[in-house]
Structure 1
């Protein structure tokens, strides 16, 4: 698992418009909130995406871009964004490479059944590319606000 003070693993992945988005695009310019979620248009994932979207302007005021990641494809992401009028980019990690780099593809248990899946996780990456906050096993309710507080602390 990744730890604060490490440099974030580099990545490039297509967004909802199939346009590649890379961590290097933001170096020296923006902080990045990279949040991983299990699936588009499911209850917890919708709560999290909507709350990040509601705070999009405040994140932008703190030079921060919010990127959501799941293993859904770009078309699924575009439908999810359209359905809820989301204001964050969603990255398609269809091969799971990004999930592996960030250690979020883990064994999960639900109703006594074990299977591999994305553990809801968030990484706050500063403008130098360093991890300043790492959280595995996130509760989606109120999480976006908590991450906004982390970003505000970077500015002070």
Structure 2
């Protein structure tokens, strides 16, 4: 996972809503990127709902919030519709952004080893530097913790 005080790797990714998001173009707004393994899975759904519910508070604090996974935009659109989400989701289908941020890693489940996205969040400050990172996120209370960190910037 990328360390605090490092410059956040810039990227341009397709976003839900038929737009593209370029990280550097969002400055000077703080940016929250939450990386999650897959659309419509239990933990990912709970996390996306938590960020969606708090989105007005993030916006009031001046922050932009985006979810990122390797799912396609079509999958993201279905996820948003099914779960009534309001957080924009970015598609990193080729995985380059996940690799740049160090969240694409070896995982183990049910005795099997495989590569996947480790649920992680980064907070990027107004200058484009990583202010804080949360590797191996546990969902309950996480969005609230990130919101507190945004407010403390």
The Cα shift of 1:111 comes to 1.0
| 2:94 counterpart SS class | coil
The residue aligned with 2:56 is: 57
User: Is residue 27 from structure 1 mapped to residue 38 from structure 2 by the alignment?
Assistant: no
The Cα shift of 1:55 comes to 0.4
User: Is residue 82 from structure 1 mapped to residue 73 from structure 2 by the alignment?
Assistant: no
The ranges of structure 1 where at least 4 consecutive aligned residues each deviate by more than 6 angstroms after the TM superposition are none
User: What's the TM-score once normalised by structure 2's chain length?
Assistant: 0.97
- Deviation larger for 135-144 or 17-26: 17-26
Matched positions, count: 153
State how 1:131-150 maps to structure 2 within 5 Å: 131-150=130-149
The residue aligned with 2:15 is: 15
User: What's the TM-score once normalised by structure 1's chain length?
Assistant: 0.96
The Cα shift of 1:83 comes to 1.0
> What's the C-alpha RMSD, in Å, of the aligned pairs?
0.8
| 1:10 counterpart SS class | coil
